[in-house]
A and B are shown apart, each in its own frame.
Chain A
Amino acid sequence: MTEVTSKMLHEKTGQLLDRACQGERFRVVRNGQTEAFLIPATEAVDPEWPQIMSEVWKVQKKSGPKRPNPVLRERKVRNYAARLR
C-alpha cells in the first residue's frame, strides 16, 4: 500500500485516482496519522471485526473451561532472569 499525504491527495487527485483505477491502493496520512484509504472501486472494502470473528465469538459465548495463554506460558518458561531474582 502506497502512503500519500493529504496535501499530495489534494494536489494530485486526478493522478492518484488514475493509479487507483489501475489497482494501486493508497493510505492517506494527515499530521502523521492514517486518516483514510483510497482503493480501487472494483475491490471489496475490508470486512469489520464482527464479520471476521463471527464464528469465534459464537463459540466463545458457550461455557466451558478456558485455557492458559500459550504466549505467556512460553515467556514464563524462558524468563530465567526472573526466576533468579
Chain B
Amino acid sequence: MPLVYADTSALFAFFHPKDQFSNALTEAVRELSPDFVYWSYIRFELRHNLRQSRFDSYGELAWSALRAAERTQARLRWESNLKCDSVIEAADEFSGHIAKQFSAGCGDFLHISAARRLLHLSGINGFWTCDAEQAKAAKAAGLDVRLFTR
C-alpha cells in the first residue's frame, strides 16, 4: 500500500460526503488505495473539524467513518516518529528559511515539516492537500505534491 501524507484539508474532504473536494478525494483513493499518515496533530485537527460538523447526518456519517478508520492499524497509519516537539522545532527552522516567500500559515508548515521528516526517515508516496498556498510551500520543501481542486 502506498503511504500518503494527506493534510487535514484533504482528509476532511475525504471523510465528509458534502465537502467541496470530496469527489476528487474519493476518486484519488479509489485509484491509488493509499494508507494515510496519522499522528497527534492531524488527529487533533481532523477530529476537531469533524466534531464541529456533527450537526447533521452527513457529519455523523463522516465521524463514524473516521472512527472506523482509526480502529485499523493500516488505513490511518500511526507514525510514532512524529513527535510534536521535534516537528515544531523542524517547522520553525523551515519557516526561518522560507516563511517570507509563501503565505502559508504556521499549521501548514507543521504538516510540511512532518511530511519531510517521514520522507527522509522511511519514505512517503506523496503529499495531498486542497490548499493551494500550502501546496506551493510543500513543493519548495521537495515534496511530491498533489493539489486537489473542485
The smallest beta-carbon distance between B68 and chain A, in angstroms, is: 5
Q: Could you tell me the distance between the alpha carbons of A46 and B134 in the complex, rounded to whole angstroms?
A: 31
Main secondary structure of the interface of A (DSSP, over half): mixed
**Chain B residues with CB under 8 A of A68:** 20
**Chain A residues with CB under 8 A of B45:** 71
Q: Could you tell me the distance between the alpha carbons of A81 and B106 in the complex, rounded to whole angstroms?
A: 11
Q: Could you tell me the distance between the alpha carbons of A69 and B58 in the complex, rounded to whole angstroms?
A: 14
The smallest beta-carbon distance between A65 and chain B, in angstroms, is: 8
* Contact (Cβ within 8 A) A56 B61: yes
Q: Could you tell me the distance between the alpha carbons of A66 and B1 in the complex, rounded to whole angstroms?
A: 30
In the assembled complex, A85 has its CB within 8 A of some CB on chain B: yes
The count of A-to-B residue pairs whose CB atoms sit within 8 angstroms is: 108
Q: Could you tell me the distance between the alpha carbons of A69 and B150 in the complex, rounded to whole angstroms?
A: 11
Q: Could you tell me the distance between the alpha carbons of A48 and B52 in the complex, rounded to whole angstroms?
A: 26
* Contact (Cβ within 8 A) A79 B61: no
A55-B122 contact, Cβ under 8 Å, with A47-B72, A71-B9, A75-B105: no
* Contact (Cβ within 8 A) B74 A64: no
A56-B8 contact, Cβ under 8 Å, with A75-B131, A81-B103, A82-B103: no
Interface residues of B (CB under 8 A from A): 3, 7-9, 12-13, 15-23, 26, 29-30, 33, 45, 49, 52-53, 58, 61-62, 64-65, 68-69, 72-75, 77-78, 103, 105, 107-108, 121-123, 130-131, 133-134
Interface residues of A (CB under 8 A from B): 1, 25, 29, 32-34, 37, 39, 46-50, 52-53, 55-57, 59-60, 64-72, 74-75, 78-79, 81-82, 85
